[in-house]
Amino acid sequence: MQKTIAIVGAGLGGLTLARVLQAHGVAATIYEGEASATTRAQGGLLDIHEETGQVALRAAGLYDEFLTLVRPGEDAKRVVDRDGTILFDMPADPGSARPEVDRGELRRLIIDSLAPGTVRWGRKVTSVRYLPEGGCVLTFAEGSATRADIVVGADGAWSKVRPLLTPARPVYSGTCFVEIALAADDRHCRAGVAAIGRGTLMAVAPGKGIIAHRCADGHVRGYVALNKPEEWMRSLDFGDPCAGLRRLADEFDGWSPLLTAFVTRSDVEPRLRPIHALPVGLEWDRVPGVTLVGDAAHLMSPFAGEGANLAMYDGADLAGKLVEEPDIEIALTAYEDRLFPRSGDAASRSARNLETFFGREAPQSVVTLFDRS
């Protein structure tokens, strides 16, 4: 293939796309706004699905290396009510078809597999302009620009590539997260940490929840979840982290102190994470030489566990089509014909599960969800 391929964004989807292309001798360049692979923490654990994420890793030739990153025993799940009463307790499955890995370690594995110079760090794309004669011009924050024949938006929720295809924008779901964490040696929270079990604790009620995961080294990561309007989020001030955490804890007045301690004792800088989503079933008309993967194409809440898996699968699937089909437009059309139904299905499940977790029937609705799994 003689066409130049620009991938905007070095998340899992864009990286997988570049890796599979390179495995077939096709060059691609990734433009990423962050200064390096370690600029920002990459979040917690991912369960990698057999039918999507693992398929992508096999296509990338990285499946065996992926297995060395698997964290056995961290897929256990426990659901409790506001008093800490256990309602559902699923032990870890050593033979799980959806093994857990650290997102940062998985990302590093794919980055390290790429040819040197594939990722151009510190190249923040501020705009993408379609050229009538074909191809696009990418403009960067420092003022420089480059042209590419094929542009793939792998740049997440607020994609700069998406507007070339659709005016759709992410909409606030009504639920926001605030990150929390505890050190492994926090003696004040030993009882609460023990209550987590081996994996993830989900303490949920209508409109709110505390979710915490116990990592292999003993430290805890998680988040507070609240159904709140955007005006409330704008009023939340973490200038004084301790005061901000106390305000969050007030939302759980009457809950077990074992649970609220995850909030009041959190030792990580609180970060507000509003959950946004693109319209379920989003599609667009074909624009020559341009397409999307991952959250740029189908941003959804994390409650189907599909975001990272679909992003990698999108990347591998798109790469496969570009390698198999010499006609670029036929390849992109074939990719999007598969993308739309699979992302629409996942987005529908994600929206339903978000309501299940924090709707009127929680926590029993969550117990029912896992009982059916």
Give the helix/strand (H/E) hosting 286.
none
Predicted confidence (pLDDT) per residue in 227-276, tens digit: 999 999 888 878 788 888 888 999 999 999 999 999 998 988 888 999 99
Exposure string of 341-360, with b = 16+ CB inside 10 Å and e = fewer, is ebbbebbebbbbbbbbbbee
Give the pLDDT band (50/70/90) at residue 43.
Answer: low
Q: Are residues 199 and 228 in the same domain?
A: yes
Whether residue 182 is contained in a domain is answered as yes
Spatial distance between the Cα atoms of 50 and 169, rounded to a whole number of angstroms: 30
Question: Of all residues in the chain, what percent are helix, strand and coil, respectively (each to 5)?
Answer: 35, 25, 40
For residue 224, tell me if it sits in a domain. Answer: yes
Tell me what pLDDT residue 24 has: 97
Q: Within a domain: residue 272? A: yes
Mark which of 223, 249, 276 sits at the end of a domain. Answer: 276
CATH number, domain containing residue 135: 3.50.50.60
Share of the chain above pLDDT 70, in %: 99
Residues 25 and 117 occupy one common structural domain: yes
DSSP per-residue letters across 15-83: HHHHHHHHHTT---EEEESSSSTTSS---SEEEPPTTTHHHHHHHTT-HHHHHTT--TTTT-EEEE-TT
- Report CA Rg, the chain: 21
How many structural domains are present in the chain? 2
Same-domain status, 140 and 230: no
Residue 373 has pLDDT above 80, yes or no: no
Query: Domain check: are 33 and 52 in the same one?
Result: yes
**pLDDT score at 56:** 98
- The answer, yes or no, to whether residue 1 has pLDDT greater than 70, is no
Q: Which residues contact 242 (CB under 8 A, 6 or more apart)?
A: none
Task: Say if 370 falls within a structural domain.
Answer: no
Residue type at position 220: V
Q: Are residues 154 and 298 in the same domain?
A: yes
Write down which residue in 257, 276, 295 finishes a domain. Answer: 276
Residue 371 lies in a domain: no
Give the predicted TM-score (pTM) of the model: 0.94
Are 312 and 256 part of one and the same domain?
Answer: no
Rounded CA gap, 92 and 100, in Å?
A: 11
Q: Is the pLDDT of residue 198 over 90?
A: no
Residue 99's CB is within 10 A of a number of other CB atoms, namely 24
How much is the pLDDT for 123? Answer: 97
pLDDT band at 42 (very low <50, low <70, confident <90, very high): low
Judge if 161 and 302 occupy the same domain: yes
CA distance linking residue 287 with residue 159, whole number of Å: 16
- Helix, strand, or coil here: 141? coil
Q: Are residues 186 and 270 in the same domain?
A: yes
What is residue 218's predicted lDDT score, i.e. its pLDDT?
76
- Token digits of residue 12: 């899992």
What per-residue confidence (pLDDT) applies to 146? 97
Number of helices and strands (H, E) in the chain?
A: 12, 17
Is residue 245 within 8 A of residue 266, CB to CB? The reply is: yes
Query: pLDDT by residue (tens digit) across 315-338?
Result: 999 999 999 999 999 999 999 999
Whether the pLDDT of residue 217 is over 80: the answer is no
82 domain residue, yes or no:
no
Cβ–Cβ under 8 Å, residues 321 and 334: yes
In a domain, 363, yes or no: no
- Mean per-residue pLDDT of the chain: 93
38 pLDDT higher than 90 = no
How would you classify the pairing of strands 119-121 and 272-277? Answer: unpaired
Q: How confident is the model at residue 73 (pLDDT cuts 50, 70, 90)?
A: confident
Q: Which residues of 158-194 are buried (b: 16+ CB within 10 A; e: fewer)?
A: ebbbbebbbeeebeebbbbbbbbbbeeebeebeebbe
pLDDT in tens, 55-71: 999 999 999 999 999 98
Residue 322 contacts residue 1 (beta carbons within 8 Å):
yes
Residue type, 124: K
Q: Which of these three, 276, 307, 323, is where a domain ends?
A: 276
User: Is 314 in the same domain as 271?
Assistant: no
The sign of the dihedral angle between the CA atoms of 278, 282, 286, 292 is: positive
Instruction: Give the structural domain span for 254.
Output: 171-276
pLDDT tens column, 177-189: 999 998 877 777 7
Helix (H) or strand (E) holding 313: helix 307-324
The answer to whether residue 271 sits within a structural domain is yes
User: Which of the listed ranges 43-47, 70-74, 359-363 does the model predict with the highest average pLDDT?
Assistant: 359-363
Strand partners, 198: none
